[in-house]
Copies of this chain bind each other. A is one copy, B any other.
Amino acid sequence: MSTELATDPTPQNAKTGSSHPLAPLSASELQAAAAIIKASWPAHTDLHFKVVTLEEPPKVEVLKYLEAEHSQKPLPALSRKAFINYYIRNTNKFHEAIVDVTSGRVEHNVLLGPFVHANGDADEIVAIEKIALADEKVQAEIAKLQLPEGTVIISDPWIYGSDGIGDEDRLFQCFLYLRDPMNQSEADSNHYALPLPISPVISSETMTVIRVDLLPTGADNTIKPVEKYKIQPPNEYIPEAQTLRTDLKPLNVVQPEGASFQVQQQGTSSVLSWQKWKFRVGFNQREGMVLYDVRYDNRSLFYRLSLSDMNIPYADPRHPFHKKSAFDLGDVGAGIMANNLKLGCDCLGSIYYLSAVLSDDKGGVVDMPNVVCIHEQDAGIGWKHTNYRTGRAAVVRSRELVLQSIITVSNYEYILAFIFNQAGEIDYEIRATGILSTQPVDEGVEVPFGTVVHPGVLAVHHQHIFSLRVDPMLDGYSNRLVYDEAFPMPRSDWNPHGTGYYVQETIVEKSGGYDIAYENNRTFKIQNPNVRNPVNGKPVSYKIQAPPFQKILSDKDSFNYKRAEFSDHNIYVVKHRDGELFAGGLYTNQSRGGTGVRSWAERNENVKDDDFVVYIQAGINHVPRLEDFPVMPCEILKIHMKPVNFFDKNPALDVPPSEQSFNKSSLLSEQHQQPSVEAVVGEDGTCCVPKL
């Protein structure tokens, strides 16, 4: 960084001594909040904490705070509150509470249910793995596989997607795999290459196996008794199992004067400044990285930006695979699954890391080091023009600021990044990688809902549907959502050659689900009609560019569809309400729908010139290829947000020109001109004999 301001003081309110209202709970706040809830129960009641996280103050209160903050005025006092979910351990008594950490008061503490279940947590998932394998019924089925002595079996617990059949209780389904029997000591062997046809189902209330499902492995839904397992060769992803290519030369990114960004660490949140951008970074158990109060050149753009949810429904209609439909944020949590990013391995260049603290299942804290990496990257040419008359080229490179988190969801990885550039643009980038979720398949079987990626291994088609939550405040709090469309002009005296076309803007009046229509170039824009561009009088706007995706394929009567309330439209817009943050609803695990963005939209509220929130969906219909196994190359999605008549000229116009004195590139070709080389032909007339 350019300065040594890395660890600035926590700004505190003079009266309350509290942190910034949008700063995540600190370790002491987390522990205090849990302790307050514990104290509300009889001594020795064993509570199983699921979530202890910042309860953000009402937006209207925070806005007053932000106004005071930006105008250097005295700050209003805002209590620090925690949102808490917990069970009475080993019961189904699931609670939701709000605790005022400042006053020590319990504001709200209710028993939830029925059909409301908590997310999984790490300790629980590890316990379930073990219970599944230790169960006698499971072991009896495993015995039928007639595996070699000492074979290691791995159990992958999976969220139990609802189907309304016997799923009132909170359940987990496990999928079992072998570790390569020839390589038993390798704990990082890829067990997904050796799937077994046995799936224990566990109640998390009793922590017992309640049922052992057997998996269909043929082309139909026949369930065969478990029989001797044919052990196929392994398929490893770890580098020591490969013959690595040796011809890749190092490529280093060097910033001799440091990076161009500044980080002010203020307690548990950080304020980033870079190239006229300024925003606050938070981090929580569910969403991971959250950006607040995003501003450009001191003009407000967004109140809050975060990944709100994702859903991954699978295509195999057969029991029990039809229950594979995960909500990785709501069912587990993007924050708690975040990787510790290692220097030089996950980001390249000059890196700044942010760390976090989250809660554990006992009301204690978990350190989450290096969960966000921040770096700059070069993004090619930013703009260029050559005057062909003078030959003079004006060219600037595009520099980007990247905030990246990586989450591991059992077999799978998502690399999630906010990317800012010098032209006032924000991208949200999703890279999908990791290992396909696999299941056993009989030899010679082909199915239209999956791809055989290894002998005996089926990778089923699945959708990844992401929902980015955008809470705008473009030059103020009263915005609207509009869309532009382009239409051909009819033939007339005005358009005699049939070549004219025009762009028409439509205002979105009501909350609802809306779709991009690429055939009309339909482009959604967030707009402030009260602030006009000084040059052309158009309202200041940011447009949304989202990639096309196939909407959820599960039918409208299915639990999959009902639960994934964001999965059926490119855009949802709803009137802002405090506490409505998650497009699939607050409690997604074994949810039954009715609590997410589709339901909020059905309130049919006015969103025009009001406080609204936009959910932008993007997705992949992942039809696996062999190239996706044993680990898949990143599939990349990007959502762009770009200014439209927000600035009065290209905001990157003032970027210094791209010059060799600054870039310090190296010339590989000795001769800058193409050499004229004498011919050297092989003696027998064959081609391409290199003259060494």
Contacts and interface: CB of A to CB of B under 8 A. Distances in A.
Q: Is the interface of A mostly helix, strand, loop or mixed?
A: loop
A674 B392 CA distance: 48
Nearest to A555: B498
A73 B686 contact: yes
A651 B665 contact: no
A451 to B, nearest CB: 7
A555 B686 contact: no
Interface string A206-250: 000000000000001100000000000001011100111101111
Contacts of A187: 387, 389-390, 392
Contacts of A259: 249, 668
Interface residues of A, number: 234
A140 interface: no
A53 interface: no
A433 to B, nearest CB: 5
A264 B691 CA distance: 10
A605 interface: no
Given A9-B679, A9-B691, A415 B381 contact: yes
A265 B675 contact: yes
Given A449-B501, A673-B369, A674-B356, A628 B650 contact: yes
B346 A658 contact: yes
A74 B684 contact: yes
Contacts of A659: 344-345
A97 B191 CA distance: 65
Q: How many copies does the complex hold?
A: 2
Contact of A433 (B257, B385, B390): B385
Nearest to A636: B380
Nearest to A276: B245
Contacts of A43: none
B248 A655 contact: yes
Contacts of A431: 380-381
A247 B659 CA distance: 16
Contacts of A12: 679, 681
A313 interface: yes
A347 interface: yes
A133 to B, nearest CB: 13
Interface stretch (A100-108, A110-118, A483-491, A591-599): A483-491
A257 B250 contact: yes
A415 B668 contact: no
Contacts of A675: 7, 265
Interface string A496-523: 1111111110000000000000111101
Given A381-B346, A518-B549, A679-B10, A451 B536 contact: yes
Given A13-B685, A256-B252, A313-B499, A413 B388 contact: no
A348 interface: yes
A72 B687 CA distance: 7
Interface string A299-339: 00000000000000111111000100100000000000001
A553 interface: yes
A629 B650 contact: yes
A251 interface: yes
A674 B265 contact: yes
6 contacts: A239-B394, A248-B655, A356-B674, A381-B433, A451-B645, A453-B535
A60 interface: no
Given A7-B671, A385-B435, 14 more contacts: A5-B692, A247-B260, A249-B259, A251-B377, A318-B494, A351-B666, A353-B669, A386-B406, A398-B633, A448-B503, A449-B489, A625-B643, A627-B642, A633-B650
A569 interface: no
Interface stretch (A82-90, A556-564, A571-579): A556-564
A41 B305 CA distance: 71
A529 interface: no
A58 interface: no
A631 interface: yes
A673 B371 CA distance: 10
A253 interface: yes
A255 B255 contact: no
A476 interface: no
Nearest to A661: B344
Q: Which of A6, A346, A658 has the most CB of B within 10 A?
A: A346
A182 interface: no
B243 A423 contact: no
Nearest to A368: B674
Interface string A471-489: 0000000000000101111
Interface string A403-434: 00010101101010000011111000001011
B502 A448 contact: yes
A494 B494 CA distance: 58
A680 interface: yes
A137 B381 CA distance: 42
A644 interface: yes
A252 B251 contact: no
Contact of A322 (B220, B499, B674, B682): B499
A684 B381 CA distance: 47
A44 interface: no
Give the 5 A-B CB pairs with smallest separation, nearest first.
A317-B500, A344-B660, A14-B685, A9-B680, A498-B555
Contact of A550 (B26, B248, B520, B673): B520
Given A383-B433, A386-B339, A344 B649 contact: no
B681 A11 contact: yes
Contact of A250 (B314, B413, B663, B674): B663
